[in-house]
Amino acid sequence: MAALPKAALPLITLAFAAIPPAALAAMPPSLDGTAWVLDSNDAVSLQFEQDRVSGSDGSVRATLVSQSRSLDGRWQVLRYNNGRQAVVSPLLGTQLDLSFLEGGRIGGNSGCNRYSATVQLDGSKVAITAPLSTRRLCIAPAGVMEQEQQFLAALTSVATLRQEGPRLELRRADGALALVLRRLPTAA
């Protein structure tokens, strides 16, 4: 079978079912939330068919789920670069988010105010203009206005993006992390 070019391969997540509780408890945590358990006494033969992986006995071992590559929707900011060589979480009691809108625009909540900007996407390359923002003054929680300035500066520093399922990483031109976001579920 000929290999597909990388661009043609779908982004997939493996969802394993029926992991015994004892095996689950024995799994060491990993940085990306995945773990593989291999038992040297078990030989594993897997068959890949359309959207599932089956064992040699025909049992379904995993289901493949396509992940959206679209940036559409609302993204919650989990971490942002504060401009002082640190990537930090938003202050408790504040909401930072970003939505990709029609017409090459982005917008969202910057902790106190609403903002909007123009975005240009070219593959993984990104250019974001200086955002326009409402002019509310918020005094609580302490530091919210400083957070807002740092977040908007991080936003305009973005040069590249990388999406993995519901996670989006935006990086500066020097490779430093600017923002880490998680896709928010859409309202039904």
- The pLDDT tens digits for 121-135 are 999 999 999 999 999
Cα(137)–Cα(53) distance, rounded to whole angstroms? 54
| pLDDT band for position 54 (cuts 50, 70, 90) | confident
Cα(148)–Cα(140) distance, rounded to whole angstroms? 12
The 8-class DSSP code of residue 122 comes to E
The arithmetic mean of pLDDT across residues 96-110, rounded, is 95
Burial of 8-45, coded b for 16+ CB within 10 Å and e otherwise, reads eeeeeeeeeeeeeeeeeeeeeeeeeeeeeeeeeeeeee
- Considering the segment(s) 73-183 as one domain, its CATH architecture is Beta Barrel (2.40)
Question: For the chain, where do the domains classified as CATH 2.40.128.270 start and end?
Answer: 73-183
- What are the E-state strand segments in 56-151? 60-66, 73-81, 87-88, 97-101, 105-109, 114-122, 125-128, 132-133
| pLDDT band for position 26 (cuts 50, 70, 90) | low
Residue type at 83 in one-letter notation: G
Q: Which two tokens stand for residue 22?
A: 């004892």
What pTM does this model have?
0.66
Cα(165)–Cα(24) distance, rounded to whole angstroms? 23
